[in-house]
Structure 1
């Protein structure tokens, strides 16, 4: 997935004034800063897309959400605190953009990552993949396993799916996840524990042979 801030602006149909601001912004960014930004995007594009996919369950929406997060990062480079983790800040932006977009689309339904959700069936999950269940017989390689596990994670209640994805799929520490999700480390531990339990229950139905598999 190639991230292009200018293409992202055009696709979202922002007005000419906003586009003009981006042109001015590009002219004032030093070449070294732009190179650093491009390198950061290249390094983290796939993992940001993966988290967006877990949150949205839709490839187009995930791509759009990831591009929007990178665009917001680009516009804020000169104001970013260098003592903070840029990656963690980006994940926080991604989470907040998802919540905002979900609330806009659902208006009166304001359930979010930080609000109570039903732990029963898949009906409590705002977004789910539209593709059919993966065939367990096809899980013969690491790619197939990753697809099945990521799909199962995406179907968890969102406050659990993001915590599990950040920890088990992207390798963030509890402290980093606490910063991203803006909650205590104790809450992070609880969400990961509960999320993993729900994940195992789901895998027991769709791919029981993976119950001993721990995402890398």
Structure 2
């Protein structure tokens, strides 16, 4: 019993010691614990948390809403929600996933507010542009498959290809491939059937593969 008490005391003492470190020297786990202490999150610790995960939030919002000009405002609102609710996070190790859900839910909240009315877009139909119509299969300006393509070029092209997908397909493929959500979660979040989710993901993958075929080859 005395050994158990001693071990428990040592663990608690070690945690107190780690939390006394400057925020930039804390692990992500301890940084979140520091934000959860007190009546309000510690502003210095929270600023450090924001700096570590800001790019993650920006990446999610970019993929979900590449054509929105106010993504910076959305990102700011994400962190306001995190600040207000971080004490409710029971498992700090799951912070990244929790943060991803806040960003995704905010996107859908904003989408509902805007009440966008748009007709379904077929991946097989021509895409309308200012000076006419073009096919979805756009010839890439990147070097041919025979050239040595840098990894960054491939991912830059992938971002463009994802952004060019119709909104419903883009959102679904981002939630699945980038956020790693289960099909059932995506269906619940987007309000469509499981079969529709699977169909959209399959068609989005096919489209991305066709656009990126020269890189795959």
TM-score bin, normalised by smaller chain = 0.5 to 0.7
- Contact 1:163–1:192 under 8 Å retained in 2: yes
Partner of 1:65: 74
Q: Do residues 77 (structure 1) and 86 (structure 2) align?
A: yes
- Contact 1:88–1:180 under 8 Å retained in 2: no
- Contact 1:88–1:176 under 8 Å retained in 2: no
Unpaired stretches in structure 2, ≥5 consecutive residues? 1-36, 130-138
Partner of 1:28: 39
The whole-number CA distance in structure 1 between the counterparts of 2:91 and 2:167 is: 30
SS in 2 for 1:136: coil
The whole-number CA distance in structure 1 between the counterparts of 2:38 and 2:202 is: 47
Structure of higher RCO (CA pairs closer than 8 Å, 6+ residues apart): 1
Q: Do residues 118 (structure 1) and 118 (structure 2) align?
A: no
Q: What is the CA deviation profile of residues 157-203 of structure 1, one whole-angstrom value per residue up to 9, with x for unaligned ones? A: 223212322333455555665676566665543332121122234x1
- Contact 1:54–1:151 under 8 Å retained in 2: no
Farther off after superposition, 156-165 or 86-95: 86-95
Kindly report the root-mean-square deviation, in angstroms, between the aligned alpha carbons of the 2 structures: 4.0
Q: Do residues 209 (structure 1) and 208 (structure 2) align?
A: no
- Contact 1:92–1:180 under 8 Å retained in 2: no
Partner of 1:17: none
- Contact 2:63–2:163 under 8 Å retained in 1: yes
- Contact 1:48–1:66 under 8 Å retained in 2: yes
Partner of 2:176: 167
Partner of 1:143: 152
* Structure showing greater Rg: 2
